[in-house]
């Protein structure tokens, strides 16, 4: 869901910059640090949900642990009144303003958390196997189909795990936990080298 790997403005530093530069090429489970994303945490009552989705351009999914995608943007159900809105490569400020305007007077909370986390991608025929070294969920396609996004764990770090294609997963992780998750993924896929 985050296709760009371009580096951001010169002022920005990302926690995986150094680690991602030294990664091994392992085809069965490729590991990539993805580029900047606008991330907005949206919480709200029923009345605000539809307005927020319309302003963002992606309807907020009402089914648990599902992800809706439109025009390169994604809305992830994280809880019954909680969504994370992802807009790769976009500037968060105008997006924030647009949604706030559309939801004025409707009980809700919108918080810019773009810098809170980073996203990395695990892709390849063994991606699920690698993730299951630290994630306790059943990642079979039946139990965790494409379009699933959920908060869960990878070893001792909390993550948001998304299945993009049968063999592609995205892991969104708070920035200070990102090197830990990265190193654990490197360790997990080492046997596939």
Given the rule CB under 8 A, which residues bind other proteins?
8, 11-15, 36, 41, 43-45, 64-65, 78-82, 93, 107-117, 129, 132-138, 140, 143, 150-153, 155-158, 174-177, 179-180, 183-184, 187-188, 190-191, 193
- Judged by beta carbon, residue 70 or residue 101, the one nearer other proteins is 101
CB of 176 to other proteins, least distance (A): 4
CB of 48 to other proteins, least distance (A): 10
Q: 92-102 and 46-56 helices cross at what angle (nearest 10)?
A: 140
Do residues 135 and 144 lie in contact, with contact meaning Cβ atoms separated by under 8 Å? no
Give the chain's radius of gyration (CA, Å): 17
Question: What is the rounded distance in angstroms from the CA atom of residue 128 to the CA atom of residue 131?
Answer: 5
CB of 112 to other proteins, least distance (A): 7
Please tell me the number of Cα atoms within 13 Å of 70 on its side-chain side. 11
- Judged by beta carbon, residue 121 or residue 148, the one nearer other proteins is 148
- Judged by beta carbon, residue 3 or residue 17, the one nearer other proteins is 17
- Judged by beta carbon, residue 46 or residue 71, the one nearer other proteins is 46
CB of 1 to other proteins, least distance (A): 19
Could you tell me which residues come within 8 angstroms of residue 61 by beta carbon, excluding any fewer than 6 positions away?
A: 67, 68, 75, 76, 77, 83
Query: Tokens 């943007």 belong to which residue?
Result: 73
């Amino acid at each position: 869901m985050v296709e760009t790997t371009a580096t951001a403005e010169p002022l920005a530093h990302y926690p995986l910059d150094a680690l991602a530069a030294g990664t091994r090429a392992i085809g069965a489970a490729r590991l990539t640090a993805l580029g900047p994303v606008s991330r907005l945490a949206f919480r709200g009552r029923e009345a605000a949900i539809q307005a927020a989705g319309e302003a963002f351009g992606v309807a907020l999914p009402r089914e648990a642990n599902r992800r809706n995608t439109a025009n390169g943007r994604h809305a992830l159900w994280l809880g019954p009144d909680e969504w994370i809105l992802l807009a790769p490569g976009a500037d968060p400020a105008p997006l924030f303003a647009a949604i706030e305007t559309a939801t004025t007077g409707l009980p809700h909370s919108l918080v810019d958390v773009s810098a809170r986390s980073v996203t990395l991608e695990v892709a390849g025929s063994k991606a699920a196997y690698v993730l299951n070294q630290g994630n306790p969920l059943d990642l079979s396609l039946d139990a965790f189909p494409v379009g699933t996004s959920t908060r869960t764990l990878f070893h001792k770090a909390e993550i948001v795990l998304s299945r993009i294609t049968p063999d592609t997963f995205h892991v969104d992780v708070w920035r200070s936990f990102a090197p830990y998750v990265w190193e654990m993924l490197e360790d997990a896929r080492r046997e596939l080298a």
